[in-house]
């Protein structure tokens, strides 16, 4: 083993979870190698569109038709626009197999999807962790809210999370910077909902934006969010949390970070005599040459499905079905969030106000179905967003003089309001990913074959969301209520989770309570692949907390000589 290829820790992937692992290990003095399959993206320097005006884009922000046609999957993502499409994987470059329709949205570069995310961040509650045990699905989580609570606080302080302390047991409060304001119609709806229901709440959306910088943010070189709402381009103020603006530069400053880009991890190397992983095998994305790197501990943070792929591809004569797959569980019990359904309406009041300017979040309605006991004919529940706006409705019809005339009309019309459902789906053995037997990518790695679908529970939840939100909107005096079910494929929620779930028992789970592979304790998985169930909250804050907790444990074990 070449000394120059040996580190204390290897982290696979530099996105949200990998960035946290890198920061934790580097700041405690461990020589850390981060392997990233994509190119480097340096904060500020590599945000080519960040300060462009709308008219400076060749296609005025739209994606040219030919690109859309060639990339039907990624084109379905709302963020795939001219200003950020360079941060998103094109379908043609990284093919995968859809046994059933699955829109796999990816960002292969330093920072991963942390550059692109919508930055909504809510903690899980005790009700979420006890969900599978109480409702009898999946397996029991081996951790509870109390295990993660201090780690939520830890990552929130550093990342910068804005929010209001609402005192709700279903959505615990965090270490918040001041919240963003609701507008007058959102406040009106909040009041209406609390007047009409005791168990439903409309709160300020919690998000990873610095509303009031603290010293720890200034130390990262980050400043106050300007409400530009152009986050997906990369923020010149570091106003929102990304690995690029926060955890990775922090890790780099310690001098302990080695970041290797264009490094596609093919597999983890396993020594069966020692029952230990010794390193990873990496293919150079450009030259296709293979190199091996070695470390005492390996953190797999390639993003849920790629983490599954790497583990499945880490087979040997001792683990012929992949590392951690002794009981055939790896790649199974994948779940996601059901984002199919929307409701919109109009509000005729408050016509003396309008909206102007930007803000990075809107209102949020935590889950209220089946929270403390089973009340409906479906399991679990849904959260929802709520937003309202009233701006000039531009009429782009016509050409020349007609167009000019249409554009100069200043008709504000009524307020529009809308919500989207964020439903929990149930992890099932039949929702799985596996390696293709026949198709490989350009680096010779088997392509991922994805078989994930909705079920009857999801259909019932969609129906309930429509009924309950129609009732809530009607009670609030909203009119012209319209509902829609996009029937979008799983994946477009970009919250895929599971495949290497945590649990107590090696026969029914892949990871233990510290995110170590039951069968190979120096390999840790702390991205979405570890999730036993999905709850309804946006998941990334939980990945951050789980990663920081597991890294702390790994370092304690390393010090004791256990790893």
Ligand X SMILES: Cc1cc2nc3c(=O)[nH]c(=O)nc-3n(C[C@H](O)[C@H](O)[C@H](O)COP(=O)(O)OP(=O)(O)OC[C@H]3O[C@@H](n4cnc5c(N)ncnc54)[C@H](O)[C@@H]3O)c2cc1C
Least distance from ligand X to the Cβ atom of residue 243, Å: 7
Q: Smaller CB distance to ligand X: residue 260 or 276?
A: 260
Is 516 a binding residue for ligand X by CB under 6 A? The answer is: no
303 close to 500: Cβ distance less than 8 angstroms:
no
Least distance from ligand X to the Cβ atom of residue 111, Å: 6
Is 527 a binding residue for ligand X by CB under 6 A? The answer is: yes
Distance CA 130, CA 126 (A): 6
Is 37 a binding residue for ligand X by CB under 6 A? The answer is: yes
- What residues numbered 300-319 form the site for ligand X, per CB under 6 A? 301-303, 306, 310
Is 435 a binding residue for ligand X by CB under 6 A? The answer is: no
Among 14, 338, 361, 425, indicate the residue that binds ligand X (CB under 6 A): 14
Is 22 a binding residue for ligand X by CB under 6 A? The answer is: no
In this structure, which long-range contacts are made by residues 182-187, counting pairs with CB atoms below 8 Å and at least 24 apart in sequence?
A: 182/362, 182/363, 183/353, 183/355, 183/388, 183/389, 184/350, 184/353, 185/347, 185/349, 185/350, 185/388, 185/390, 185/415, 185/417, 186/362, 186/363, 186/386, 186/387, 186/388
Q: Smaller CB distance to ligand X: residue 128 or 140?
A: 128
Distance CA 521, CA 518 (A): 6
Is 265 a binding residue for ligand X by CB under 6 A? The answer is: yes
Residue nearest to ligand X (CB): 15
Is 536 a binding residue for ligand X by CB under 6 A? The answer is: no
Least distance from ligand X to the Cβ atom of residue 376, Å: 26
Is 15 a binding residue for ligand X by CB under 6 A? The answer is: yes
546 close to 514: Cβ distance less than 8 angstroms:
no
- What residues numbered 98-157 form the site for ligand X, per CB under 6 A? 105, 107-108, 112-114, 116-120
DSSP codes of every residue in 340-389? -EEEEEEE-S-TT----S--S--EEE---SSSSS--SSSSS-EEEEEEEE
The 3-state DSSP class for residue 287 equals coil
Least distance from ligand X to the Cβ atom of residue 69, Å: 21
Is 489 a binding residue for ligand X by CB under 6 A? The answer is: no
Is 13 a binding residue for ligand X by CB under 6 A? The answer is: yes
Can you read off the two tokens belonging to residue 58?
Answer: 């060749």
Q: Smaller CB distance to ligand X: residue 118 or 462?
A: 118
DSSP codes of every residue in 67-89? HHHH-HHHHTSTT-STTTGGGS-
Distance CA 434, CA 431 (A): 10
Mask 205-244, x = binds ligand X (CB under 6 A)?
Answer: ----------------------------------------
Burial class (CB in 10 A: 0-12, 13-18, 19+), 200: middle
Residue 161's alpha-carbon distances to 224, 245, 463, in angstroms, are 12, 15, 33
Is 38 a binding residue for ligand X by CB under 6 A? The answer is: yes
Least distance from ligand X to the Cβ atom of residue 13, Å: 3
**Residues binding ligand X (CB under 6 A):** 12-18, 35-38, 77, 79, 105, 107-108, 112-114, 116-120, 263-265, 301-303, 306, 310, 494, 527-528, 538-540, 543
């Amino acid at each position: 083993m070449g000394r120059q290829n040996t580190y204390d820790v290897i982290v696979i992937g530099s996105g949200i979870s990998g960035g946290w692992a890198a920061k934790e290990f580097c700041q405690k003095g461990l020589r850390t190698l981060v392997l990233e399959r994509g190119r480097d993206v340096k904060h500020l320097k590599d945000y080519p569109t960040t300060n462009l005006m709308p008219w400076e884009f060749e296609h005025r922000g739209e994606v040219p038709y030919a690109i859309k046609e060639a990339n039907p999957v990624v084109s379905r993502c709302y963020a795939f626009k001219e200003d950020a499409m360079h941060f998103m994987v094109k379908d043609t470059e990284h093919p995968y197999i859809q046994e059933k329709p699955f829109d796999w949205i990816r960002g292969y570069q330093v920072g991963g999807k942390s550059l692109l995310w919508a930055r909504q961040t809510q903690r899980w509650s005790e009700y979420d962790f006890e969900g599978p045990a109480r409702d009898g699905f999946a397996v029991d989580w081996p951790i509870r809210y109390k295990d993660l609570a201090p780690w939520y606080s830890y990552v929130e302080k550093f990342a910068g999370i804005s929010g209001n302390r609402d005192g709700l047991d279903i959505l615990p409060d965090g270490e918040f910077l001041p919240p963003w304001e609701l507008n007058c119609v959102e406040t009106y709806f909040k009041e209406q909902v609390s007047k009409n229901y005791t168990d439903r709440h409309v709160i300020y959306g919690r998000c990873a934006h610095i509303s009031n910088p603290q010293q720890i943010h200034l130390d990262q070189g980050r400043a106050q969010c300007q409400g530009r709402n152009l986050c997906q381009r990369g923020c010149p103020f570091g106003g929102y949390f990304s690995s690029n603006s926060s955890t990775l530069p922090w890790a780099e400053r310690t001098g302990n970070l080695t970041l290797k880009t264009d490094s596609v991890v093919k597999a983890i190397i396993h020594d069966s005599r020692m029952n230990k992983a010794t390193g990873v095998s990496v293919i150079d994305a450009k030259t296709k040459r293979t190199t091996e790197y070695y470390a005492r501990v390996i953190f797999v943070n390639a993003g849920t499905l790629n983490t599954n792929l790497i583990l499945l591809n880490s087979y040997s004569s001792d683990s012929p079905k992949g590392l951690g797959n002794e009981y055939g569980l790896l790649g199974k019990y994948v779940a996601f969030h059901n984002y199919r359904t929307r409701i919109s309406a109009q509000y005729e009041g408050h016509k003396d106000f309008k909206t102007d300017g930007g803000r990075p979040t809107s209102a949020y309605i935590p889950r209220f179905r089946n929270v403390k006991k089973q009340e409906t004919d479906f399991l679990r529940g849904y959260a929802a967003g709520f937003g309202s706006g009233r701006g000039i409705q531009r009429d782009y019809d016509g050409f020349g003089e007609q167009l000019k005339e249409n554009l100069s009309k200043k008709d504000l019309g009524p307020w529009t309001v809308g919500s989207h459902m964020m439903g929990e789906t149930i992890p099932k053995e039949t929702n799985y990913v596996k390696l293709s037997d026949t198709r490989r990518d350009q680096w010779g790695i088997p392509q991922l074959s994805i078989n994930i679908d909705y079920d009857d529970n999801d259909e019932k939840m969609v129906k309930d969301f429509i009924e309950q939100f129609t009732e809530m909107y009607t009670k609030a005096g909203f009119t012209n209520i319209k509902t829609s079910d996009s029937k979008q494929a799983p994946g477009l929620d970009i919250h895929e989770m599971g495949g290497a779930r945590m649990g107590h028992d090696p026969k029914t789970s892949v990871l233990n309570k510290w995110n170590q592979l039951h069968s190979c304790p120096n390999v840790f998985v702390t991205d979405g692949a570890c999730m036993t169930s999905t709850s309804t909250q946006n998941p990334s804050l939980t990945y951050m907390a789980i990663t920081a907790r597991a890294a702390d444990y790994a370092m304690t074990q390393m010090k004791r000589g256990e790893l």
